[in-house]
Structure 1
Amino acid sequence: MSTREVHSGGCQCGAVRYRIAGELGYPHICHCRMCQKAGGNFFMALAGTRNEDFLLTRGEPSWFRSSDPCGRGFCAKCGTPLFFKTVGSPYISVTIGSLDDPEASVPVSQDGVESRVSYFDRLFGLPERETDRSDLPGGTAAVGRSNHQHPDHDTAAWPPREDRS
């Protein structure tokens, strides 16, 4: 008997959560201008699954119709981009960064390269440094102690009862 892959994910604030009981297909990064705008970044990383393998487990996303055939789902509360869906398709794509384990889906392709920013290939040659928030009162530790981000796993309720105002 085979075991099916199970993946979970959601938005930054935890208002929208989902589960995938099946394969994450065609993981890729898309450089098209719509994906750049939707993600507010140089590209959007996506992986697909069959509609029947996808389940919302908390909340409902809001949707923006970025073109006649395409919609993009996001959390209306925190703004996290979550989904890409083509009208009539048997698939839905999730943003790889919204997965609880983004390492589970390694991109195999770059699409929309006609819109790729001209300096993309030079980004990996930039100097690297770890997160340093010494500019904030209490520094990086204070940020960690006051983190309101949903953890990278399913929870029975969110936010935790003691954090609700």
Structure 2
Amino acid sequence: MNAATTGGCQCGAVRYRIAQALENAHICHCRMCQKASGNYFLPLARTAKAKFAVTRGEVGWFQSSDIVRRGFCRDCGTPLLFDVVDRDTINVVLGSLDEPASVKPEFQCGPAAKMPWFGELDAVEPSADETSWYAAIAPSNHQHPDHDTEQWPPENRS
């Protein structure tokens, strides 16, 4: 990933651009990351703060410890950033990237809080009504698309 990378929150209120390749891609299973993401783990990757820019909106912050703050969208709650405040780098939540599959985690941390059944997930069968569920959501989807837009939400949205 050599070109600029873009991403943002689910509602489109916050957008960002990274002007270098992400490094240190990993999955954190620690309990603090679980709580911050509302999930079983949090995928992160690092970039220099000087190469990271918010291009739309303003990031909200929660000081989750004395040395770490977590950035999120104040409108929709999407977790976006993990910032060790005294470092010149910042971690981006990989699910907020426009192309999340472009960054493959290289390692895992926080194994003590990892779900004991995590390795079994590939064997879990998909829902039988998955296609009809996503088809029902599609006409009313208010999620920002996975690319930069000049304006969001669109003017013609009712």
Normalising by structure 2, report the TM-score: 0.94
The aligned residue for residue 63 of structure 1 is 61
Tell me how far 1:141 sits from its aligned partner: 2.6
| Equivalent runs, 1:79-118 vs 2, <5 Å | 79-118=77-116
Question: Following TM superposition, where does structure 1 have runs of at least 4 consecutive aligned residues deviating by more than 3 angstroms?
Answer: none
Q: Secondary structure at the match of 1:29?
A: strand
State the Cα RMSD in Å.
1.7
The aligned residue for residue 35 of structure 2 is 37
Give, in whole Å, the separation in 2 of the partners of 1:62 and 1:133. Answer: 35
Q: How many residues align?
A: 158
| Equivalent runs, 1:7-26 vs 2, <5 Å | 7-26=5-24
Tell me how far 1:132 sits from its aligned partner: 2.0
- Which sections of structure 2, spanning at least 5 residues, go unmatched? none
Tell me how far 1:47 sits from its aligned partner: 0.7
- Which sections of structure 1, spanning at least 5 residues, go unmatched? none
Structure with bigger gyration radius: 1
| Letter of the 2:144 counterpart | H
Q: Secondary structure at the match of 2:120?
A: helix
Normalising by structure 1, report the TM-score: 0.90
Give, in whole Å, the separation in 2 of the partners of 1:122 and 1:104. Answer: 24
The aligned residue for residue 161 of structure 1 is 155
Tell me how far 1:98 sits from its aligned partner: 0.2
Tell me how far 1:133 sits from its aligned partner: 6.3
Task: Give the fraction of aligned pairs with identical amino acids, expressed as a percent.
Answer: 51
Change (3 A) 1:131 1:72: farther
